[in-house]
Amino acid sequence: MIINYCLECSEPLRGRFDKKFCGDSCRNVYNNRVNGNVNNYVRNVNNVLRKNRRILDSLFKMGDKQIHKGILIEMDFNFQYFTHKKVNRESTTYCIYDYEYTTKDKSKFVMISPGHVDFETANRKPKGFRNTGHYNDL
């Protein structure tokens, strides 16, 4: 007979053969330790993104569509974090969830607008994608 031991406290396990932990508390302690760093990183990035979105939202709702970058910096806006971006010859548009701001080369101003997240397009397979049958509907 094979005896398994709790992955956290190493006590012998009773019950189902595929059991990994002796109880909820050992499972929680183990998972928090293993996933803690990743979860903290994701949480911190999400907090920055949410704060950026909140800043754009408040400025836009006050009627400010063209904003000096210095004001965003004063409000603790973090330009390094955005959810996606669109680039064309004249400008770059940075999206933060459903808001976006556009910057022109060397301009000290950005234009804020509510973006339209088109999930249908966002989830579309890239051009040239062919389903080889090796994977179930990537």
| Residue ranges that bind Zn ion, judged by CB under 5 A | 6, 8-9, 22, 26
Closest of 96, 108, 103, 113 to residue 60, by C-alpha = 113
DSSP for residue 132: -
The nearest distance, CB 37 to Zn ion, in angstroms, is 22
Closest of 128, 112, 107 to residue 75, by C-alpha = 112
The nearest distance, CB 33 to Zn ion, in angstroms, is 13
Of 22 and 112, which CB lies nearer to Zn ion in the complex structure?
22
Of 2 and 138, which CB lies nearer to Zn ion in the complex structure?
2
The nearest distance, CB 13 to Zn ion, in angstroms, is 8
Of 9 and 45, which CB lies nearer to Zn ion in the complex structure?
9
Of 12 and 63, which CB lies nearer to Zn ion in the complex structure?
12
> Position 23: which residue type?
G
Of 26 and 95, which CB lies nearer to Zn ion in the complex structure?
26
* Spatial contact of 8 and 29, defined as CB atoms under 8 Å apart: yes
Contacts of residue 4, defined as CB under 8 A and 6 or more positions apart, other chains included, come to: 12, 13, 17, 19, 20
Closest of 79, 11, 10, 22 to residue 48, by C-alpha = 79
> Position 12: which residue type?
P
The nearest distance, CB 15 to Zn ion, in angstroms, is 13
The nearest distance, CB 114 to Zn ion, in angstroms, is 50
